[in-house]
């Protein structure tokens, strides 16, 4: 009898070619101290996101940054659910909460940006076209919040038949229990939950064992 679910490399092997790094919503609204939707541990994951950015940039992997734009009327019903968004203009362009958190690596020229109005980075954006036109098969999910925009985007990626690598120590949520239950669900049904070091080691291993791959990625 077959096992009910597959885990780890039984699902897929993380290759740097065919993978894209997604940095989700590392904005002041969520990362800055005393922000309306502050996620304190989002500041702790910056060091791991920086490692991943270094690897992706060194190996010409696509990098996609997302930002939430929740201005009216585009945010729709979210404006009723989140009064700070509606009344204080949190995550509206021109408000400092919309900007990337400044005390971390910033988006570089040639890296993609997706502005989204909902939690799902695929919903009514160019993300799917960006990934497919770059030959991407696997998305590496980082950023905040684990159980909201990271989770929703990962599920949406899975529904589009992308392989999902969800990095538990490069995502952050408002509370540990929210973070942990999301990781358990991701591992069970939607992809692979990995640490930053595991992802980097596996990608480096693929480069070391596949000279043609290394040449293609570093050309």
- Position 2 scores a pLDDT of 78
- Position 215 scores a pLDDT of 54
Give the dihedral of Cα atoms 120, 185, 47, 82; nearest 10 deg.
40
Inside any domain, residue 46: yes
Distance CA 202, CA 180 (A): 23
Which one-letter DSSP state was computed for residue 91? T
Inside any domain, residue 21: yes
Each residue's pLDDT, cut to its tens digit, for the chain (219 residues) gives 778 888 988 899 999 999 999 999 999 999 999 999 999 999 999 999 999 999 999 999 999 999 999 999 999 999 999 999 999 999 999 999 999 999 999 999 999 999 999 999 999 999 999 999 999 999 999 999 999 999 999 999 999 999 999 999 999 999 999 999 999 999 999 999 999 999 999 999 999 887 654 454 444
For 75, counting Cβ atoms within 10 Å of its Cβ (0-12 exposed, 13-18 middle, 19+ buried), the class is: buried
Inside any domain, residue 9: no
The domain that holds 88 is classified in CATH as: 3.40.50.850
Inside any domain, residue 3: no
In 79-137, at which residue ranges do the beta strands (DSSP E only) sit?
A: 112-116
Inside any domain, residue 127: yes
Which tokens hold the place of 106? 């910033």
pTM of this structure: 0.94
Q: What angle do CA 32, 109, 24 make, to 5 degrees?
A: 40
Inside any domain, residue 49: yes
Q: Give me the domain span that covers residue 186.
A: 15-218
Identify the bridge partners of residue 65 per DSSP, sorted by sequence position: 23, 113
Inside any domain, residue 4: no
- Position 209 scores a pLDDT of 86
**Is 202 within 8 Å of 14 (Cβ atoms)?**
yes
- Position 3 scores a pLDDT of 81
Distance CA 151, CA 196 (A): 17
> Domain count of the chain?
1
3-state class of 85 per DSSP? helix
- Position 76 scores a pLDDT of 96
- Position 193 scores a pLDDT of 98
CA 71 to chain centre: 22
Residue with tokens 């695929």: 122
Inside any domain, residue 158: yes
- Position 219 scores a pLDDT of 47
């Amino acid at each position: 009898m077959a096992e009910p679910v597959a885990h780890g490399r039984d699902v897929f092997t993380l290759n740097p070619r065919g993978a894209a790094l997604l940095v989700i919503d590392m904005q002041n609204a969520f990362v800055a101290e005393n922000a309306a939707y502050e996620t304190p541990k989002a500041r702790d994951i910056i060091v791991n996101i920086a490692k991943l950015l270094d690897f992706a940039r060194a190996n010409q992997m696509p990098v996609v940054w997302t930002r939430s734009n929740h201005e009216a009327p585009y945010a729709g019903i979210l404006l009723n659910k989140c009064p700070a968004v509606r009344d204080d203009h949190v995550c509206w362009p021109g408000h400092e909460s919309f900007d990337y958190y400044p005390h971390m690596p910033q988006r570089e020229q040639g890296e993609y940006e997706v502005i989204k109005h909902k939690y799902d980075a695929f919903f009514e954006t160019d993300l799917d076209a960006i990934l497919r036109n770059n030959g991407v098969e696997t998305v590496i999910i980082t950023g905040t919040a684990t159980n909201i925009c990271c989770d929703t985007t990962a599920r949406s990626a899975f529904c589009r038949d992308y392989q999902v690598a969800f990095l538990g120590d490069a995502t952050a949520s408002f509370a540990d229990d929210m973070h942990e239950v999301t990781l358990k669900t991701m591992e069970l049904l939607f992809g692979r939950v990995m640490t930053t070091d595991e992802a980097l080691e596996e990608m480096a291993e693929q480069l070391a064992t596949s000279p043609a791959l290394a040449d293609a990625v570093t050309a």
